[in-house]
Amino acid sequence: MSLDLALSIARSGLASIQRNLAQTAQNIANAETPGYTRKTVPQQAMAVADLPLGLRNADARRAVDTALVNQLNGSRGTVAAATVREALLRGIEQAHGAAGDGATLGDAVSALGDAFTLLRAAPADAGQQHAVLVAATTLTTRLGDLSRAIGGARQQAQDGIVQEVSAANAALRDIAALTIQIKARPPGGSAELEDRRDQAIATLGESMEVQAVHRPNGEVLLIARGGIALPLDPDRDVLGTLQATVGPETFHGAGGSLSGVTLNGSDITGQISGGRLGEYLSLRDRVLPRYQAETDLVAANLADRFARQGLALFTDADGTTVPDPAQPYAGSAQVGLAGRLRLSLAVTAAPRLLRDGTDVVAGGPGGPSAFTPNPPGGPAGFTGLLDRVLTYSLGAEAAAGVAWAPIAGNGLGPDGTLQSPFPAPATLSGYADSVTVAQLGDRAAATAVREGAAGLQTALEARFAAGSGVDVDAEMAGMVTLQNAYAANARVISTLQAMWDALLATRS
């Protein structure tokens, strides 16, 4: 081997070491930068006819397991979705009141029954009559508060849909722009850009879960849950939706007024699942409309079962009769009734009607038995109506041996497509309790899902950090090794210099 070749090899070694030292310094400097992945500089030994020629450095490469990245992005989407569900349902839970504190919807129905029981012991007692009115008012207030909480959560879901569509569009534009830059770079020369693109995909994954399929030419194919291929365009939004004011009667779908989510103009609402966007859609279109319907059915059946026994204690907000709950829920005046239910002005003006009754009941097969109200000046100890209320209005039968019509368990929601997840009990208090348990259970389940998904995300992040993150200690140890190698190559050059000096001295 000639001295010139030995010098060339040593110089290439020094250049390679300098490149690796620079990359190590960059890794250390960016160790805490979100989304940054550890980079390495591959080296290749050059030789011709078994004669070594030195080292050649390739472009920096990322240490990334794409399958792990997709799994991590999926867990982020699950955590984001569960966090949204938990937050929105927690407000409804507060409106329900905690089970066991005596303030739930079922507790309010039971408290009304207790007030009627005390009134029956002293039918003419004005104080007990007032107590019944207070209990009935508490119940209507509880229904109204719950209805408003559900409506507020549903509006938050609608607003969240608009926000997440905007965020997803921004992420898609960013991914598209970065992909164009990556494709324009030589192979292996886009590691930093790929980090930024992965970060943008992670951001998109919190809005809607996606799987990223990387192509050799630098392109990336994004597939959302539900099999939706998301196009990449840096100059326009591909997703669309419209802001709207949500009411109990509004819905998305045929005949509805709520906007869905479109992809290049085509509605893909039903295909979207996962991430905050999927969760907001589920809450707006399925979960919360079901909650509203169940709460409305408590109100409708409460008013109806009292009125059918001869006491029109509850009315709609305008004083009209509450609609028949035996009729289909969708499209009826039952929709939103929980927020409108009021005490009858006639009863509040004349509390004695709680004892005497307000209406004649004709009676008939398959329904309540006949009833005639206690006339003005009638017996002060009249208990006929109170017995009917306690035995039938608050019980499982409309008359002896005649069951109440079942409370609807399907055909719910403003479009009639939803159903309750529980069989409806026959009594008002039982149904109200079931509504409370089911709705509070959804919040508890959301919390459990969030905690489990967060634990998985933490574990996946640890795996990702171990494989792709920067270990400062390891980088520092590698730097020491590189410095030693640098010193060795420097000694080779120094020795070659001495040899050249010796040769030149000999010639002179």
Which pLDDT band holds residue 103 (cuts at 50, 70, 90)? Answer: confident
Q: What is the DSSP letter of 271?
A: G
**Which amino acid would we find at residue 472?**
V
Which pLDDT band holds residue 194 (cuts at 50, 70, 90)? Answer: confident
Give the closest residue to 219 by CA, choosing from 210, 209, 232, 208. Answer: 232
Q: What is the mean pLDDT of residues 56-68?
A: 70
Which pLDDT band holds residue 490 (cuts at 50, 70, 90)? Answer: low
Q: Beta 239-240 vs 228-230: how paired, if at all?
A: unpaired
Residues 130-164: tens digit of each pLDDT: 999 999 999 999 999 999 999 999 999 999 999 99
Q: What pLDDT does residue 413 have? A: 96
Q: Tell me: pLDDT of 204 over 60.
A: yes
Which class for 265: exposed (0-12), middle (13-18), buried (19 or more C-beta within 10 A)? exposed
SS (H, E, C) 117-145: HHHHHCCCCHHHHHHHHHHHHHHHHHHHH
Q: What pLDDT does residue 341 have? A: 97
Residues 274-301: tens digit of each pLDDT: 999 999 999 999 999 999 999 999 999 9
Matching residue, tokens 């591959």:
42
Output the average pLDDT for the chain. Answer: 87
Q: What pLDDT does residue 187 have? A: 63
Q: What pLDDT does residue 491 have? A: 66
Give the closest residue to 292 by CA, choosing from 347, 334, 238, 236. Answer: 334
Whether 291 and 149 have beta carbons less than 8 Å apart is answered as no
Residues 206-247: tens digit of each pLDDT: 999 899 998 888 899 999 887 889 999 999 999 999 999 999
Q: What pLDDT does residue 486 have? A: 57
Which pLDDT band holds residue 115 (cuts at 50, 70, 90)? Answer: very high
d(CA 147, CA 134): 20
Which two three-digit tokens encode residue 185?
């770079």
Whether 258 and 252 have beta carbons less than 8 Å apart is answered as yes
Q: What is the mean pLDDT of residues 253-260?
A: 93
Q: Tell me: pLDDT of 464 over 70.
A: yes
SS3 210: strand
Domain locations in the chain as residue ranges: 3-63+483-507, 69-455
Q: Tell me: pLDDT of 64 over 80.
A: no
- Measured in whole angstroms, how far is the alpha carbon of residue 45 from the centre of its chain? 53
Q: What pLDDT does residue 34 have? A: 74
Whether 13 and 55 have beta carbons less than 8 Å apart is answered as yes
**Start-to-end CA span in the chain (Å):** 24
Q: What is the mean pLDDT of residues 88-105?
A: 83
Residues 311-349: tens digit of each pLDDT: 999 999 999 999 999 999 999 999 999 999 999 999 999
Q: What is the mean pLDDT of residues 343-359?
A: 97
Q: What pLDDT does residue 443 have? A: 93
Q: What pLDDT does residue 217 have? A: 83
